[in-house]
Structure 1
């Protein structure tokens, strides 16, 4: 058993991040994707919760959902996160937080999805002084927790994500429950924000779009932002821009608008001062999420057996090689191992407890996650500069 674990530790497959142009997802788009997706959902009833729905490897990008969440934080061209901690005024910092929140939005590809993380799976990566740790703290329902700290910039991130996908006949809508928190410790400011929904349209025109309202607020400064992700008008579902964003920054108490926000999250988003009429670039997607570097293993011995790149190594490599039989076999192996562990815990009447987070449910039936450690240590996987 020890030998097998050591061999597993030596196998880690890391793949390019989901970026603005082409890249991994585009390279692995399945052929005849619309026909395949239609056949996939043929026996699924409208309104069904797809949380337990198992995708064949042909529909997977070779990475875990934990890695996708992490990439939104550590894979970035222009460092919008550090800008948040360097703003001279609360308004400057708030605008930077809005830009950073938008930068975590990454392209979704119709017909492809990441692996569902197994219980206890982790993902640990460092970029410079920013250390990021994720853990799958619940499997049914799926809940992912993220903790990131940067001692140089004196900031902290705490996320709790609980995606709930549902099938509606001609579309799938995934609501991302849970809050994201960004703490700028030097200024005593705590920012809370939501996530947009992922809408996958099957008919009349296949697409995968981020939609819905996102609220960003800082009680310490009294500032708030409302963003709306939407698809612009099109002809019978064809054409139009599916990556539009519109919103505003305002005072929470007076509701007086300070800035208006408008643009496309995959292009340029502008910030307009409603008092002076001045317009400047708030966010440039080409600088932020194109030509992104792929993480590398710096310390092979330091990899945990729970690391996403280790857990899914065999399946990811098979998908990269387009060896679908081996991918199926690898995926079944992961699932059978999890079923065995679950059965053993049940027979021993043991309750599984996360290693790095505490988990609780609020009165509103939402999940909350809190890190057990004050800071995240440097990781064995790094993002090269």
Structure 2
């Protein structure tokens, strides 16, 4: 075994709970041998986050003032710049905030079909409220749909997102995000098509996963304008990880009117090309995200994320990983029975929900 292998084993040993080491080694071994989409694999409970992947849709609304400001641009160019700034502001929460706060990325729960998540950001008289509605609309393949809207500002975001993942050497996971978002400004009759970045999850062997972004995403305006955002996992723009460079220009290939670059997880600047002026674009350190308002768990419906996964979350927070695995398995088994019932009887989701409630209620009774 190489020195590098020894170092990685020691790192893993330091992070993995003693009772979970065999499970972790088995998981890494399975990852290395698995071909195809990794979403079907069972992740050790100590590597689970205490949230559902559906909840990640809230990061679109992390900065409600920036979201509302998109429609305040006086020209199509300014509105595209505002949309680009808002989009960059969503990346820190979506892809690296958990690594910053907890020291590592963890796997969220796989949402079940029909799972729902609702959130709201209360604004002032000028900004108005921002409201989010999200639902898991497909389980195989997993796809979530979301709707974010600020009626007062006249800004609407709708879209869907799915993920396909595969093992990548050395000991990492590459995730291709499917789907897109459509940003609409009714006042200007403008639409913006937004594509999603690819994810590279590294640090699996040391049990300290973190996310990098790679490839290129686009924001295409119906006004004939385009933002191209290039991501770097090695920092060839600024010499640091999490770098990006954005170019805003006419879609027909004319000269850029704005550029922006820096760290999507930190500070970035933008340049007005015509004026040759460079100013701050976004700073995730000083412009903190705004937590959404969510109903208390007892007031939520049976398919709302916090209510649905509450038993698993409570076990994870108590570091009772055996109980977490058991509770998670019960929910997933109920989902499999539900899917089979729907397939055999051709029932609607509303009909099948009753079956799900009966199954989970019966399991609770047998505890």
Could you say whether these structures have the same fold, taking a TM-score greater than 0.5 normalized by the shorter chain as the test? yes
Q: Residue 156 of structure 1: SS of its match in structure 2?
A: strand
CA pair 39-298 structure 1, distance change in 2 beyond 3 A: closer
Aligned to 1:293: 291
CA pair 299-342 structure 1, distance change in 2 beyond 3 A: closer
- Give CA-to-partner distance per residue, 1:287-337, whole Å, 9 cap, x none: 3345x4364426954x22110011111111111111112211210111111
Aligned to 2:330: 333
More contact order relative to length (CA 8 Å, sep ≥ 6): 1
1:51 aligns with 2:39: yes
Q: Residue 276 of structure 1: SS of its match in structure 2?
A: coil
Structure possessing the higher radius of gyration over alpha carbons: 2
Aligned to 1:230: 232
Query: Whose helix proportion is higher, 1 or 2?
Result: 2
RMSD: 2.7
Aligned to 1:84: 70
Aligned to 1:196: 197
Q: 2: CA distance between counterparts of 1:313 and 1:113? A: 16
**How far 1:95 sits from its partner (Å)?**
0.4
1:342 aligns with 2:339: yes
User: Which runs of 5 or more structure 1 residues have no equivalent in the other structure?
Assistant: 1-29, 235-239, 356-385
Aligned to 1:124: 118
Q: 2: CA distance between counterparts of 1:191 and 1:263? A: 23
User: Which runs of 5 or more structure 2 residues have no equivalent in the other structure?
Assistant: 1-13, 123-128, 353-367
Alignment of 1:1-385 (within 5 A): 31-32=15-16, 39-44=26-31, 45=33, 47-70=35-58, 72-76=59-63, 79-105=65-91, 106=93, 107-108=95-96, 109=99, 110-128=104-122, 129-170=129-170, 171-202=172-203, 207-219=210-222, 221-232=223-234, 241-289=240-288, 292-293=290-291, 295-297=293-295, 300-301=298-299, 303-350=300-347, 352=349
**How far 1:139 sits from its partner (Å)?**
0.5
CA pair 232-331 structure 1, distance change in 2 beyond 3 A: same
TM-score scaled by structure 1?
0.75
CA pair 318-281 structure 1, distance change in 2 beyond 3 A: same
**How far 1:60 sits from its partner (Å)?**
1.0
Q: 1: CA distance between counterparts of 2:344 and 2:205? A: 49
Q: Residue 252 of structure 2: SS of its match in structure 1?
A: coil
Aligned to 2:3: none
Q: How many residues end up aligned between the 2 structures?
A: 316
Q: 2: CA distance between counterparts of 1:310 and 1:69? A: 17
CA pair 251-37 structure 1, distance change in 2 beyond 3 A: farther
Q: 1: CA distance between counterparts of 2:350 and 2:166? A: 28
**Contact 1:122–1:308 (CA under 8 A) maintained in structure 2:** yes
